[in-house]
Amino acid sequence: MDLETSRGEGRRSRRRRDKRKEASAQSKTRSQHAYRQLRNPYPPVAQLSEDQIEAIHRASLTVLEEIGIKVLLPEAREIFAAAGADVDEAAQVVRLDRALVMESIKSAPSKITLTARNPERTVEIGGNAVTFATVGGTPNVTDLQGGRRPGSFADFCALLKLAQTYDVIHLLGPATEPQEIDPRFRGLDMSYAQLTLSDKIPFVYSRGRESVADAFEMIRIAHGVSEQAFPTQCFCKTVVNVNSPLQLDVSMALGIIDFARCGQLCIVTPFTLAGAMAPVSLAGALTQQNAEALAGIALSQMTQPGAPVAYGGFTSNVDMRSGAPAFGTPEYAKAAFASGQLARRYRLAWRSSNVNASNAPDAQAAYESQMSLWSALFGGANVINHGAGWLEGGLTASYEKFVIDIEMLQMFAELFEPLSCEDAELGLDAMREVGHGGHFFGAAHTLERYQNAFYEPLVSDWQNHGAWLEAGGEDAAKRAHNIWKQALAEFEPPPMAEDTREELDAFVKKRKAEGGAAPPE
Amino acid sequence: MDLETSRGEGRRSRRRRDKRKEASAQSKTRSQHAYRQLRNPYPPVAQLSEDQIEAIHRASLTVLEEIGIKVLLPEAREIFAAAGADVDEAAQVVRLDRALVMESIKSAPSKITLTARNPERTVEIGGNAVTFATVGGTPNVTDLQGGRRPGSFADFCALLKLAQTYDVIHLLGPATEPQEIDPRFRGLDMSYAQLTLSDKIPFVYSRGRESVADAFEMIRIAHGVSEQAFPTQCFCKTVVNVNSPLQLDVSMALGIIDFARCGQLCIVTPFTLAGAMAPVSLAGALTQQNAEALAGIALSQMTQPGAPVAYGGFTSNVDMRSGAPAFGTPEYAKAAFASGQLARRYRLAWRSSNVNASNAPDAQAAYESQMSLWSALFGGANVINHGAGWLEGGLTASYEKFVIDIEMLQMFAELFEPLSCEDAELGLDAMREVGHGGHFFGAAHTLERYQNAFYEPLVSDWQNHGAWLEAGGEDAAKRAHNIWKQALAEFEPPPMAEDTREELDAFVKKRKAEGGAAPPE
């Protein structure tokens, strides 16, 4: 394969394209395409046979029937009991008859519209719709210049700005934990930042009733809707993690209940690491995941039939030598494919993740992330949480990984675009024009199409080795560093009406004066 | 998600597993599983509708009928003419009637057995069988210590040893070009090294009739088969690149003919970079690829009906700003999926690649490679050429990328393993034993399975950040560097009977004394 020759051709025709180059080099931080409501055209890959899916389904119902789920919140146990579950109050264990589970989850919607305050950012979840969220909840952040450190509010805001910058991000994740802020005020500041620095779908932590109520009120103000209208549309999302195995703690159960009552999206995600918090066999971990997800979704629907809810899958494995969690492994990919099948078994939207266990934004981070993304997206995922920025198995948000992830997500967004085989695209005239052994750089067919023919990368550097070295010889992580710095320097917040902002300010001021939100019990 | 907790659990139970750790740390260069004949259980992803595939099929037959292919070798034009093609001798252009093309390729086999001198290394190509080959033909090599330099025979041999070390490599690629060896002797030395340092399927360059005959003779000697028996089994492979657009040069045409006559595998791979050597539209590039591949395969079958042959796809795009080739792009992935469909349209085995355009073994190298691998493997590829070591769009073989690629290939090999949903794997007893909020590290179900439950990585480091930093804080590339050095230090060549080796030695000595192989015209 004579690549030198092809590069030579490139060099010869480069002069002609100088103008183009100048134009598109103006901002390296943006992309040429809008990546709003993505649709995945590929039918989902099946990991398991229908019989195998039914085996997991039946076993998970047996788990709920025989072992049950421990529910620490009395109010949640009351809702379960009222719906007909067998509740052992002394043990705090709820056992659910298989028919009750299936009857309860029937009301869960298959498609959910998430309404953003900028209508262009409104997205659908379910079917073949795909949405990407940023990383969430890391205790630490890292970047090549500043090193690894505890997450701060400045980092939370910087990562929000990056989330707002890139069209391929549809949903805000809670990025990193602003550790210096008193937990009683943290939710207020996080909601305020999300609503003023971005016009995309905000994330709300399920950290107690007061905190959730504050967030809902701020979102209501930002959208300018009435208290009556608020529960009729879905404006935000939370994630409820089951404390695997088979336990739902107080704030998580409260989250399910409060989000259901207010019509906001709750993604129930068991954290089933095979070999640690779930059986070492993948089928066992999937069975437990399914039981836990169905229990949470049942609670949501028992609270409010039709409440927006999604099936979260997070099954991975640990390193059996050290107990360390692993992500983006072959086992992770199989579990992702199977989780998609399970979610579709119940006609639920499915949430997966873009995860890895690397300590640096290096080749490992990229190949583990790709394993996660391909298995999620070709498994038919509707929501990819931790879509950009996750490193170290979620203990750190990396600025450089964030940008590298944006590149990867944009590549999938492009992959989802159809490939036209219309007559003119088959190129017969171009081949007639060029003939044998020539090249297509100057062909009419090329000139008509070159500007939008191909995805233009954000991070990838395709220069030859000499030119790359001359330009500094920076690897992908270093280039990503330059890109996020430039993106932050260029950032402009989305517009917000002055009176809306004043109302938000006043609300935050008032709630802080009242002492903020009580921490979860 | 409380990962700190799960890591804490890990630490507590680490002591128990110390013995295991020692055992499996003995050699970091080997894997716990054998990755011999791989089978891909996933049905291939379709990029195009059947109508679209037929549109490309018909357009490519129109190309061969109307524009034709320029064939520089008179002998090849004679074969085409004898089969009924329209040959314009003055222009050296062969035009093939669509019926003639379809009739000619009918005899091509769908499955090919590649027989290795070690029967355990014999592999099948076609159907759902998957084989991985190492990088081939790079002018340069690079490693973190030695830097970038022209390929040498020492590098060729070192990369061969790595190819022999890892079970997941089934086919030898020609690695890097031993540039210091006189081209007349190069083929002899390369064949000798392949046959003595490895017992896997060798690669033979189509670089002139004499050179190919020498390689066949050496392979015959290594296998200990008679001259009569040699053409009845397939022992090696070559790749014939069409000089896109629509031109077949002398040595490539000779390769097709000689491999067909001797029953050895020829993979016909057009090099169709959309926008450079092929139309800028993907459908156009695929149409040209298909025309070129079918022309080459037709020549093979006209020479010897039933000769082993495979359909190679290499369609990618260039950066329209610089003309630089790009690999592992969204366009590349779509073209890969479509190429698999085209190959299956003709019931042919399909060859794809593991490629990227990065200048370093970094995140870009990994995510572009993953895009290539997923689209190839989930597109149903039977042969992945350049499976390990390719960097810089093929201009360099990287030792570190080689090891990183081995990790990625092994992860796919594991992904291909079935997921059992037998009763015992559903883990009900384990969940009953552990109950609510506990952990599975010590469960009987875990202890019975932990040793082979999960893929053990080669390069990936899943330690927490502190432990990783304490151990040197090396990124994936640096860890890969240590691994290949250790693998080379531990290398032992496969056994070969003394008289076989003597016969090979004598042959090489004789051929060198005769002046080696004439260079291709």
Q: What percent of chain B has pLDDT over 70?
A: 93
CA distance linking residue B470 with residue B250, whole number of Å: 58
A19 touches chain B (CB under 8 A): no
- Select the residue of B48, B425, B453 nearest A419 (Cβ to Cβ): B48
* CA distance linking residue B179 with residue A209, whole number of Å: 71
Short-list B272, B67, B412, B49, CA closest to A435: B67
Asked if A211 has any chain B CB less than 8 Å from its own CB, the reply is no
Q: Does B56 touch chain A (CB under 8 A)?
A: yes
> B408, B448, B453, B412: which is closest to B430 by C-alpha?
B448
Q: Out of A70, A334, A419, whose CB is closest to B436? A: A70
A497 and A195 Cβ atoms separated by less than 8 Å: no
How many residues are present in chain B?
Answer: 521
pLDDT per residue as tens digits for the range B222-234? 999 999 999 999 9
What residues of B are in contact with residue A409 (Cβ under 8 Å)?
none
- pTM comes to 0.95
Output the pLDDT for position A10: 38
Q: Does A392 touch chain B (CB under 8 A)?
A: yes
CA-nearest of A182, A208, A143 to A403 is A143
**Which SS3 state, helix, strand or coil, does residue A518 take?**
coil
List the strands of the sheet with B93-95, edge to edge: B86-88, B93-95, B69-71, B247-248
Q: Please state, in angstroms and rounded to a whole number, the distance separating the CA atoms of residues A478 and A484.
A: 10
Average pLDDT over residues B70-85: 98
Q: Which of B279, B329, B365 sits opposite A454 (nearest CB)?
A: B329
Whether A99 has its CB under 8 Å from any CB of chain B: the answer is no
CB atoms A473 and B359 under 8 Å: yes
Q: To which residue do tokens 């500007």 refer?
A: A451
* Helix boundaries (H) for A321-398: 330-345, 363-377
Kindly provide the ipTM of the predicted complex, given to two decimals: 0.94
Q: Which residues of A touch B520 (CB under 8 A)?
A: none
Q: Which of residues 336-355 of B touch A (CB under 8 A)?
A: 338
The residue type of A334 is: K
Closest partner CB to A323 (pick from B9, B333, B417): B9
Considering Cα of B391, then B392, then B393, then B396, what sign does the dihedral take? Answer: negative
User: Mean pLDDT of all residues in chain B?
Assistant: 94
Crossing angle (nearest 10°) for helices A330-345 and A363-377: 20
Query: A residues 486-515 near B, CB within 8 Å?
Result: none
SS3 label, residue B509: helix
The answer to whether B275 contacts A446, with C-beta atoms less than 8 Å apart, is yes
Å from B287 to nearest chain A CA?
6
Radius of gyration of chain B (CA): 24
**pLDDT, average across residues B274-298:** 98
Alpha carbon of B267 to those of A195, A460, A516, B119, B132: distances in Å?
57, 30, 69, 23, 14
The strand pairing partners of A390, in sequence order, are A397
Which residue of chain A comes nearest to B367, CA vs CA?
A366
Give residue A34's pLDDT: 84
* pLDDT for residue B11: 39
Extents of the domains making up chain B: 31-420+466-521
Q: What whole-number distance in Å separates Cα of residue A489 and Cα of residue A478?
A: 17
Assess A369–B contact: CB distance below 8 Å, yes or no. Answer: yes
Is the Cα torsion angle A50, A55, A58, A60 positive or negative in sign?
negative
CATH for the stretch A31-418+464-521: 3.20.20.480
B137 at the A interface (CB within 8 A)?
yes
**Residues 425 through 454 of chain B touching chain A, CB cutoff 8 Å:** 425-428, 430-432, 434-441, 443, 445-446, 449-451, 453-454
Residue B284 Rama label (left phi>0; alpha psi -120 to 50; beta): alpha
Task: Determine whether the interchain pair A404/B363 forms a contact, defined as Cβ–Cβ distance below 8 Å.
Answer: yes
User: Under CATH, what is the fold of the domain B31-420+466-521?
Assistant: TIM Barrel (3.20.20)
Helix or strand holding residue B387 (H, E): none
Q: Which residues contact A78 (CB under 8 A, 6 or more apart)?
A: none
CB B456 within 8 A of CB B24: yes
B11 vs A: CB within 8 A? yes
Distances in Å between the alpha carbon of A223 and those of A116, A120, A200, A209, B166?
8, 14, 12, 21, 58
Cβ distance of B281 and A445 shorter than 8 Å: yes
* pLDDT tier at B33, thresholds 50, 70, 90: confident
Which parts of B16-152 fold into alpha helices (H)? 18-24, 50-62, 74-82, 98-105
Interface touch B331/A284, C-beta < 8 Å: no
* Residue A280 to residue B430, Cβ atoms within 8 A: yes
Residues of chain A predicted below pLDDT 70: 1-32, 521
Question: Do the beta carbons of residue A363 and residue B404 sit within 8 Å?
Answer: yes
**Residue B272 CB contacts under 8 Å (≥ 6 apart), including other chains:** B244, B245, B278, B285, B286, B288, B289, B292, B314, B315
> Which of B 158-197 lie inside 8 A of A, CB atoms?
none
